[in-house]
Structure 1
Amino acid sequence: MMAFISPEEENYVRLSLLLTGISRRAARNYFDSEFSPACLYASMKKEYNKLFALKKKRTINPSQWKLMFPQKPETTPGADLARIKHYRNYITHLDDGKVETADFNTAWDNISGVARIKDTLKEWKTNDDEMFIKTRAAQHVLKCIKENSTVTITASSGVGKTYILRHVALQMAQLEYDIIPVTDLGDIVKFNNPNKKILIVVDDLCGNFSVDQSDIRSWEPLKEDLNKIILNEETKLIAACRLQVFKDEKFQFLSVFQSCVCDLL
């Protein structure tokens, strides 16, 4: 016999679905509009001490803290394979076929991060570097990044900044540097490992034709972390930037990129 629910019970179910479904998405959308996902991690790092104080008071529980500040992954091939093996074993031994959302998000970020970086470097080598002709400019940039923590390559459009950037990065990979191509600024902090030789690679820094104010704002929360990161002799940063962007007065905010400049012109 089919059981029917009362109008009051139906109201309860509908209201519960609204609060746990639509309202949650609305709250997330509003949160994302106030704190851009692209720089959320950097913003949290800036307020690390305040957040840690909340963790000590148990206002933030361990699961929430793990979501906010996941353990930094290593990006060496051996570590990558070990991480993939770990998650394969993990999912093989799940009896109920269910993965908690927090565990899923952590696993997805770790595994997809491995695949994305490896695919990017493979694409650079196959599509760009096999036909690359070594020039004095490329040799000079390589020499500069070996001797300095940061190097910024500048030139007008069409001169070949990106090709030299990628070629130099691949050369540094042969010197046992882990190469981290950055599109999401949070990756600078997320993938940094002070115990490994790392080269962070940033293309088209702060806009193509003029300084993008949103890019400047995205970098702001990272300034303190970035200065600390490059103090480590094992970590280097190389960037390509259009000359008109580099000369814009608003770019002076990013002083870290001005210590060693290679102007291809």
Structure 2
Amino acid sequence: MNLTIEESNFLRFYFLNLKIASQAVKVYFDSVHPPAGLATELANSEAKLKGLRFITHLQLQILYPSNASNVTSDNFDTTLLICLLRNLPPRQSAPATGWDNLPHPGDTSIGADLARVKWYRNKLVHSNDGILSSTDVIQYWGDLEGMKKIFCVLIVLLSEDNSWLWLWIIIRIPKLKKGDMFLCGESARNNTIF
């Protein structure tokens, strides 16, 4: 079975958002909420999180397993990670357009980067046809590639694992340059993500 160009566009963009951008959100989450203290942070915020109308029963089970020491961000999907970043101290500030809208292209805040990942994830997941025109994929791709703070995390990830580097080459984000990788790598060596 051959894929159409539109189906191939959809799958490539879906992979970028699901695997690569989502992994960047997780790395960012772990930098703000280190794994060693995560169970304690969640315990301290349990009443608040259980009171949120948009947290599902399944998500609460993931956040509060029977053995609290088993909680790990490895089990959190992008939606849950962004929800926690929005609601656990220090709360991530929303972009000017809010969390449920695509941020303005000039907004380069971390909140805007997170909102972009969330917005495109929702757009992809709720697609009825699984196709993406070449015009749309170029626009969407451009929106994600402008996320310097999120992609900086991705570059750090890519430098640690050759298979991710291979996937990155397949995806070919055109605006990233070798110099960008060096700067991000230097930041990572100094224990700062951004």
- TM-score normalised by the chain length of structure 2: 0.33
Structure (1 or 2) with the larger CA radius of gyration = 1
- TM-score normalised by the chain length of structure 1: 0.25
